[in-house]
Amino acid sequence: MLAVLSPGQGSQKPGFLTPWLDLAGAEARLRWWSALAGVDLVHLGTVADAEEIKDTARTQPLLVAAALLAAEHLPLHDVTATAGHSVGELGAAALAGVLTAESAITLAGVRGREMAAACALEPTGMAAVLGGDPDEVLAAIEAHGLHPANRNGAGQIVAAGARDNLDKLAAEPPAKTRIIRLQVAGAFHTPYMAPAEAALAAVAGGIVTAEPARILLSNRDGAAVAHGREMLQRLVRQVTAPVRWDLCMRTLADLGVTGVVELPPAGTLAGLVKRELKGPDAPEIVTLNTPDDLPAARDLIARHGARPRHEPAPSFRVAVAPSAGTFGRAEGLAEGTTVRVGQVIGHVATRQGPVEVTAHGDGVLTEWLAGTDDPVAPGQPLARIGGHL
């Protein structure tokens, strides 16, 4: 099984898009996307220095554009799953078919500008806490009035909040940890970004979504999201919510992913996957940074790829498992029963507790695809809901 990953802010490097502009149509595509994003993506990806591309308003649409530009040269029909880190989720949503490329770029432009504006309201920042006991690290972050903005796995938790509180955390670090202040504009993925979330929600309300054509994982909880409108809502909420990349990697392992391609600028997510998913079942990884890496990426997809397991169909909706666990049907809910949007049709018992499975449209429960106490994997079909009322 093959997964494609889209990186987030901090992975950019000066000039990293330069070799991609040699491909036919690449520069024209970037200029079109520049008009949508409100920034010059060609300039930013080729000649801009590190300081210029560190600007949140510029970086976010640049990263989404880079991922989508490279993905156009891959056989995505053989990709089973996709996920992105932070703003990379917009790229992943486009690769899964939930958003058009134009919608993803537009949202990235709005997201970047509004998050940059929110950063200017108060002196905030972020710091990576490396090592230590995770529970002790989380307790120390909370004790200093900070937020665990990113839980990246592989012994890395990112604290975010007021700069004074970050200074206090650095002065009193948890046992066996190393703290590195991050060169970012503010406290991303915390309540400090509430104005940006509100602004993004206002624009997202006009976006038309489609159902995902492949398994699409969410930063919120590592769950496989089966419906486009839900994913869009999660993308908006994720501006102030923590990035749970640790849970995304756990889901990749639960899915049995054997191959991973990281889109440009690649390396950060590949490193986390290598450190977290070890052993004989560790996935084979290709980091796609230049067009010279395309043959290796295509070969990996050819060897590990497979058709998606839950392609959308026009005549019915399929409810899928959000996480790995054991499925239980809702009591008294039989085939042929009418269900309403939002109705709970079952639960998946997970290591973190039960997760509700809900109907994402009105219709009739036409067929159970999993039984009570059946073990299920993320994205596995559970029930078929047909027709409209």
Which positions are annotated as active-site residues? 86, 189
Q: Which helix H or strand E contains 119, and what residues bound it?
A: helix 101-119
Which amino acid is present at 282?
A
Contact 351, 375 (CB under 8 A): no
> What residues does 350 pair with on adjacent strands?
353
Helix %, strand %, coil % for the chain, to 5?
A: 40, 25, 40
- Cα–Cα distances in angstroms (integers) from residue 379 to residues 41, 223, 316, 318, 325, in the given order: 35, 8, 16, 10, 11
Query: What is the residue whose two structure tokens read 């998946």?
Result: 348
**All residues at 6 or more sequence positions from 120 whose CB lies less than 8 Å from its CB, including other chains:** 185, 186
| Structure tokens given for 276 | 């977290």
Alpha carbons 188 and 196: distance in angstroms, whole number: 10
CB contact at 8 A, 39 and 61 = yes
How far is residue 149's CA from residue 57's CA, in Å, rounded to a whole number? Answer: 19
Task: State the CB neighbour count (10 A cutoff) for residue 122.
Answer: 12
